[in-house]
Every structure is written in C-alpha cells, then in structure tokens.
Structure 1
Amino acid sequence: MTTYAFPFTSQLPGEPAPEFDLLRTRQPVARVRLPTGDEAWLVTGYEDNRVVLSDVRFSRALTTRPDAPRLQPIPSDPSALVSMDPPDHTRLRRLVQPAFGNRRVAALRPVIERKVEDLIDDLAEEGPPADLVSRLAGPLPIAVICELLGVPARDRNKISGWVGVMLSLTRFPPPQVAGARAELKDYLASLVAAKRDEPADDLLSELIAARDSGGRLSEEELVMMGTTVLAGGFLSTASEIALSFLCLFRHPDQLALLVKCPELLDAAVDELLRYNALTTGGGLLRIATEDVELGGVRIRAGEAVLPAISAANRDPGVFPDAHRFDVTRAENPHLTFGLGLHYCLGARLARSELELALAVTLRKLPRLGPAVPVDRLPVQDGQLIRGLAELPVTW
C-alpha cells in the first residue's frame, strides 16, 4: 500500500488539495506519513469521517502518550479538554459549556456587532485600499475571546504570537513550540492568581470559583482550560473570516446575490464553513483503542487516524455538485465543527462572529472587492490553520 506524504499542498488559500478527491475515490482510508515522521490513516469520505469523529474506539487521550504518533511538533497536553476522553472530558466540558451556550452567545451578539461596526468605520474613514486581515478578521475574534475569558486588552498581541507558534506544523522548531505553550500557561497561571484576589464577571473567574469551592477541576486543568479557549478561540475564527471574504471575491455572482439578498446570510455562512478548507485537512488525530474496520481497511489498535474534514465536506455523495460554491444551498450537513464528544465548544460563538463580520461589512461597504488579484495570494504552509497573511481590499 502506498504511503503518502502529508500534509498535501493546496494550490489556493481556502481550497483543499487535489489529493483529497483522488484518495476519496480510490483509497478513502489511506496511509500517510506526517511531518513528525509518524504514520497515520487519513480518512477522506464523509461517512467514515462521521465514524472517526463520534466512535469512542477512536481516542484523543491516547494521543498524549509520549510515544504516540502525532501530527504537530510536540505531544498534546493531557490536561487539555481536547485531549481527553470521558469521564474527564465530560466533567470539564460541563463546567465550561454554559459560557458558550445560546444564552451567553446571544448576550454577546450586540457586543460583537458594535465591535465590527467600529472596525469597519475606522477602516472606511481611512479610505481604500485596506488590509481586511489586520483591520477586521484578526482584531475581532481575539477581542471577543479575551473579553469572554477575562484577558486584559493590553496582552492580546503577545497572546496572538504565542498561539501562532503553538499551532505550527513545520514553521517553528519543536523547542520553540513547547516554549510558546509554556509561556502562555505561565501567563494564565499569573492571571488566575490575580483574579483570585479580584474576581470579575468572566469565564476565568467562574472556573476559579469552580476550582476553589468544589474542586471540580485541578489547578493544571484550570490553567490549561484557559490555554485551550485562547488557542482555539480566535485564530481559526480569524482565518475563517478572511477566507470567507476571499471566497466571495472569487465568486462575484454569489457575493452580489448576498449583498442583494441579506436574508441568505444563514445559508451563506454554512456554505462558507463547508467550502473553505481552513486547516491542512481536518480534525484532531485519534488513536484506535482496538482493531476497527473502516472503509475496507483494518485499523489496528494503537494506530493513528486523521479525519480529513475538508475532504468530507466536498464528498459528492453527500453534497451535490460539491465543488460548487452556492450561498443558496439548502441541505448542508458539513462537519466543520466536528461531531460527537469533541464537537467544537465555540461553534455558536464562531458562527456569530462570521455572520456579523459579513453582515455589517457588506451593509456598510456593499461595493467591497479585492485590491489585488485574488489568485496571487499565497497559501500559508507550515501551519495547522491555513488562513491569509493579508487580504487587501477596496470599495
């Protein structure tokens, strides 16, 4: 059986690599060699991805073992929510889930909308051209997640720097990745100490109270929860916002339709989430706890499995004319936020930020368009999340 080098090279930002289509057709469960030199099974079909994402026989906790196969330069932290299996995962998720529930996100929507309006007003006042990444897509999500968690605004830039290094595949050496994670954890440990003395109305203060009053999480879990929320809470959303505008620029007929018919925004958001290949391929690496038959292949206990969500979201067996971007697409069961136990905790919040970034920007700047040829924008290789370094726009 052929072993393919992974990750594959995307030809354009936001587009999945062509190898995904070939493998989904010819070898839907394929052997790949990861940047670390470890090997894994890459899963490209929609239904097989659903199995990997939801079946308890595919463990996240086993990926934290020192000798476990891994995708990124350093092992996963065992105290991180995303690196846990039940019952520990269930215990911690119950603590933090209300902060990302419908009520809290609904209360945040006016805050998010005002922030987008302020950012776009500032951008419009200075006049075109402008960089939509540094002026909107980047500042919005980090401001929101820091406000939710209780992180001072003055610290946003250094947090952004740490997270960018932490989510590296090959761009930074392992010691630098480990150092960034350690620095972020040290910073949050100091912030926890400060908030113990002066609690506030924020998620970190709530978690401290849960720790100190009932011992429902350890001190390490408390610090790592803050790290996880920051690491997952803004870079992926920032990249999704930038790639969504880029996708609309590449499909001007769909952009014009959305400007003319803003009631299509809900469907457009789902289609953008489905269509954009945000990462190198998809979900979190898992380890099989026992032998499992998947896609005609026997996966042995202890072997790694990587769900390729970007490939699953373009499966023509589920999405008719899957490579066509269509803001009117009705049925759209994409897997962008995952499935099962590890369904993205911040899915509602990320969706609200993307929706409001689009709605406010297109309302205020209905003639928004690219200031450079969009096909010349480079793919961000070497990173787990493939966003955009910049997106020059005019209006």
Structure 2
Amino acid sequence: MAPASNENVFPLDHAVQDAQRVMAQRRSGCPVGHVHAGSSHGDGWLVTRYDDVMSLLADPRVKRDQRNVPELNSHDGYDSLLYLDPPDHTRIRRLVNKTFTPRSVEPLRPKIEQLVDELLDRMAAQGEVDLVSAFALPIPLLVISELLGVPEEDREPFVTWADAVNGTEHDPEVTQEAYAYLRKLVADKRADPADDLLSALSVVAAEEGGSLSETELLHNAMLLLVAGYDTTVYLIANTVLALLQAPEQLAEVRENPALLPDAIEEVLRYDSPVNISSPRWAAEPITLNGVTVPAGQPLLLSIMSANRDAAHFDDPDRFDIHRDKSGRHLGFGHGIHYCPGAPLARMETLIAVGKLIERFPGLGLAVSSDTLTMRDSLLIHGPASLPVRLT
C-alpha cells in the first residue's frame, strides 16, 4: 500500500551506491519519512534512528503478516518466519531454532574449516581474486545447502535466486523457478528422508495433525535458502573490507586472534550486511519524531542506519574493534524476529576471516576502496565484488 500522496517521496532505490551518506542525511533531517524503495520494498515510511528502530522491532502494534492489519483487508500471506506474527511465528520458530543453537551448529565446524582451506589453496595460485565470488559466497552457500540437504549438483542457481528475492527490483519469474525446485526437493525428501533440516521439516508437515503446513514448509525453505546464506556472504566480505581499511587494527587481530570475534561484532554495527529490513506494517497509527504513520502503512527499518546513530554510539563512523560492547548493535535484529542463524553466521565468519588473514599476511585491496560498487539491493549491504591481492 503506497502513502496517500507521493509528493516528496524520496527515491531510496537510487541511493544504494551511497547508502551510508544517504542514511546519515535521513537520520539528521528526516528520521521518519516517505520513500520509494524499488519493487522489492515498494513505497513506505523509512525509519533511521536507533531508538525508533529498536522500539519498532519489538512493538506489538507493528505486524509482519498483512493479514493481521485490518486496514489492508488482505487474505494473502507469506507463511515464513520472516512474515508471521505470534502464535504462528512462535510455533514455526520453535521448530527452526533447534537447528541454529551454538551447540547444534558446532558439528559443522570441521566441514567449514575444510572448505575454507580448500578455497584458500585454490586462491593462492591466482595472486588476485574477487573475494566475494571466490571466497565469501561459496562458504555460506555450501553450509546452508548441507543443512537443508540440497544435492551439490543443484546449487548453482542459488545465487540467481537470491538476487531475484533480495535485489532492488524483484523478479517474480525467477522466484517461481526457485519455488518449483523446492517443491520437487520437498517431495524427494518426503519419499526418501535424509539427515537434514528439510527432511525433518517435511516429515513434520506430512504427519497427520503436523505443526507445519505445506505452504509454510515451502516458504520457510525459501527463507532459509536465501536469507540463510546471502547475509553471511556480506558479513564475511564487509569484515575483510573493514579490516583492510584499518591496517593497524588488522595487525592487532593477526597478533591476537582472540580479538577477531570483537572485530566481527563491530562490523555488524559499523557496516551491517543488512541495510533495510523487509517491510513491517503499522496495525494502528504510530507516532515517531512528530510524524504519525497511519494504520496500514509499511514501515521500512534501516538496521544499517540505526547502527550509525550518534545518539547511541560514540563516534559511530569510526571502526573500532575495542569499542564498548554495552551499546548493543542491531545487526541481527531484535525481538522475536532476531535472526535464528546468528550463531552459524558468526562461526562461518570467524573461521573464514581468521584463516584468510593468517594464510595471506600481505592481503590487500587490489583497487581503491572508493571505486568499489555496492550490491544492487536495499536489503543486503556490501560490495558486489571485492578485488584483493594475495601475498
């Protein structure tokens, strides 16, 4: 649903390449305002300040499911964790949470370490690589594929599917292609279950009186497939980029690897791989900073902007791995929709970046950082490519 008037609607979908500067301007001059955010987000009310974003992430007046917003009069929903409210969200979250606890993801560590070592060996022979496509992307892609039980020969289209779902301009045809594949995969898992998450969820959905419908199964499989790897790609890439741009802090991390977890947490704040979260809806009028968002209107919350708010973080535009952690970042969200895959994303990034900087002590950017092009997405924030020298 678009705002009542399109006057002064800011074309946010044109600001991807300079998102940090644009968000700083919005925080300062228009912390809540009309924007156009491409076909993937539509028109809505962009919220950019930390306190507002933090409160709305846990506000019961804010709904993920359009069916719970009377003004929208919608009978269609998207039955994944990302777009559900309690009690349906609670029911499905309980099933998924078991897979993503720190203890449950730990058995994946040897496989991740082996994959990272293989990628580093392959990269060493090249001298210069795009760190996104050669390193940051294959790691989470393999991990989420292993978790879901996707055959290795079927994984190539995942990148295209993620671009279709997470890009500035949504591509419904490619999205339908992804769903068609998932329907077939679910049918295969039901006929011949294996030791993977999708098999387990398929069994739950198939049982009489099961707690997961067929539609919910497909939508949550898509969520895990796309969200389960895309954000981690850019957590890895953004961490490497931030450290390369702060060579003294990179040297500290190399000398004392115990600092790397702190560096990753700082990247989640300083250069969050999530810019604007997928839309939420005001179920009743909500007033923020003197602006009233009418009931039925979409709310677009900028995680990236909130994490650079000077009212909450001291000198927020400075990357500092020694930053006081009491000022909680929102890199993985907040409230009931806090990212269930956070423990896995942290582990993947810790292994990947730790081994990378150890293997290549002369690692450096192969281009000037101001020439880097950002991913064409308002949801995902990070460089589309990251050319580096390996020495």
Tell me which residue corresponds to 1:355.
350
Tell me which residue corresponds to 1:6.
12
Tell me which residue corresponds to 1:261.
256
| Shift, 1:118, TM fit | 1.8
Tell me which residue corresponds to 2:81.
81
Partner amino acid for 1:103?
A: R
Tell me which residue corresponds to 1:389.
384
Matched, 1:209 2:215: no
| Shift, 1:127, TM fit | 3.8
SS at match of 2:98: helix
CA distance in structure 2 between the aligned counterparts of 1:182 and 1:78, rounded to whole angstroms: 14
- Unaligned runs of at least 5 residues, structure 2: 1-6
Tell me which residue corresponds to 1:71.
none
Once the two structures are superposed, the pairs formed by residues 95-134 of structure 1 within 5 Å of their partners are 95-124=95-124, 126-134=125-133
CA distance in structure 2 between the aligned counterparts of 1:153 and 1:264, rounded to whole angstroms: 35
The verdict on how the C-alpha distance between 1:131 and 1:102 changes in structure 2, with shifts beyond 3 A counting, is same
| Shift, 1:384, TM fit | 3.5
| Shift, 1:258, TM fit | 1.5
SS at match of 1:31: strand
- 1:379 pairs with one of 368, 374, 382: 374
Tell me which residue corresponds to 2:309.
315
Tell me which residue corresponds to 1:49.
53
SS at match of 2:320: coil
- 2:34 pairs with one of 17, 22, 31: 31
Contact between 1:80 and 1:221, CA under 8 Å: does it hold in 2?
yes
The verdict on how the C-alpha distance between 1:318 and 1:265 changes in structure 2, with shifts beyond 3 A counting, is same
Contact between 1:100 and 1:349, CA under 8 Å: does it hold in 2?
yes
| Worse-superposed segment, 290-299 or 48-57 | 290-299
Once the two structures are superposed, the pairs formed by residues 94-173 of structure 1 within 5 Å of their partners are 94-124=94-124, 126-170=125-169
SS at match of 1:130: strand
SS at match of 2:157: helix
| Shift, 1:8, TM fit | 5.4
CA distance in structure 2 between the aligned counterparts of 1:155 and 1:387, rounded to whole angstroms: 26
CA distance in structure 1 between the aligned counterparts of 2:36 and 2:364, rounded to whole angstroms: 39
State TM-score, norm by structure 1. Answer: 0.89
Tell me which residue corresponds to 1:199.
193
Q: Which deviations, in whole Å up to 9, do the C-alpha atoms of 1:41-91 show, x marking residues without a partner?
A: 2111111101111112111101899x96xxxxxx99522221111111111
The verdict on how the C-alpha distance between 1:356 and 1:141 changes in structure 2, with shifts beyond 3 A counting, is same
| Shift, 1:330, TM fit | 2.5
The verdict on how the C-alpha distance between 1:155 and 1:64 changes in structure 2, with shifts beyond 3 A counting, is farther
CA distance in structure 2 between the aligned counterparts of 1:121 and 1:35, rounded to whole angstroms: 40
Partner amino acid for 1:97?
A: N
CA distance in structure 2 between the aligned counterparts of 1:383 and 1:274, rounded to whole angstroms: 17
Q: Which deviations, in whole Å up to 9, do the C-alpha atoms of 1:232-281 show, x marking residues without a partner?
A: 011111122112212222222222222122111111010011111434x3
**Residue-pair matches, total:** 379
Contact between 2:168 and 2:377, CA under 8 Å: does it hold in 1?
yes
Q: Which deviations, in whole Å up to 9, do the C-alpha atoms of 1:76-113 show, x marking residues without a partner?
A: 95222211111111111111110111221122222212
| Worse-superposed segment, 210-219 or 343-352 | 210-219
- 1:179 pairs with one of 173, 194, 199: 173
Q: Which deviations, in whole Å up to 9, do the C-alpha atoms of 1:207-253 show, x marking residues without a partner?
A: 01212234111111112221110010111111221122122222222
CA distance in structure 2 between the aligned counterparts of 1:81 and 1:152, rounded to whole angstroms: 24
CA distance in structure 1 between the aligned counterparts of 2:388 and 2:368, rounded to whole angstroms: 10
The verdict on how the C-alpha distance between 1:207 and 1:43 changes in structure 2, with shifts beyond 3 A counting, is same
SS at match of 2:388: strand
Tell me which residue corresponds to 1:220.
215
| Shift, 1:352, TM fit | 1.1
State TM-score, norm by structure 2. Answer: 0.90
Contact between 2:13 and 2:378, CA under 8 Å: does it hold in 1?
no
SS at match of 2:44: strand
SS at match of 2:27: helix
CA distance in structure 2 between the aligned counterparts of 1:278 and 1:152, rounded to whole angstroms: 27
CA distance in structure 2 between the aligned counterparts of 1:83 and 1:381, rounded to whole angstroms: 23
| Shift, 1:356, TM fit | 1.1
Tell me which residue corresponds to 2:235.
240
CA distance in structure 1 between the aligned counterparts of 2:283 and 2:68, rounded to whole angstroms: 14
CA distance in structure 2 between the aligned counterparts of 1:25 and 1:63, rounded to whole angstroms: 34
Partner amino acid for 1:161?
A: T
Q: Which deviations, in whole Å up to 9, do the C-alpha atoms of 1:139-197 show, x marking residues without a partner?
A: 10100000011001111111222222222223xxx5xx112221111111111111122
Tell me which residue corresponds to 2:4.
none
| Shift, 1:122, TM fit | 2.1
Contact between 2:9 and 2:36, CA under 8 Å: does it hold in 1?
yes
Partner amino acid for 2:176?
A: A
CA distance in structure 1 between the aligned counterparts of 2:377 and 2:163, rounded to whole angstroms: 11
Tell me which residue corresponds to 2:3.
none
- Unaligned runs of at least 5 residues, structure 1: 69-74
Tell me which residue corresponds to 1:59.
63
Contact between 1:62 and 1:287, CA under 8 Å: does it hold in 2?
yes
Query: Identity rate of aligned residues, in percent?
Result: 39
Partner amino acid for 1:110?
A: P
| Shift, 1:2, TM fit | 4.3
| Shift, 1:392, TM fit | 2.0
| Shift, 1:201, TM fit | 0.7
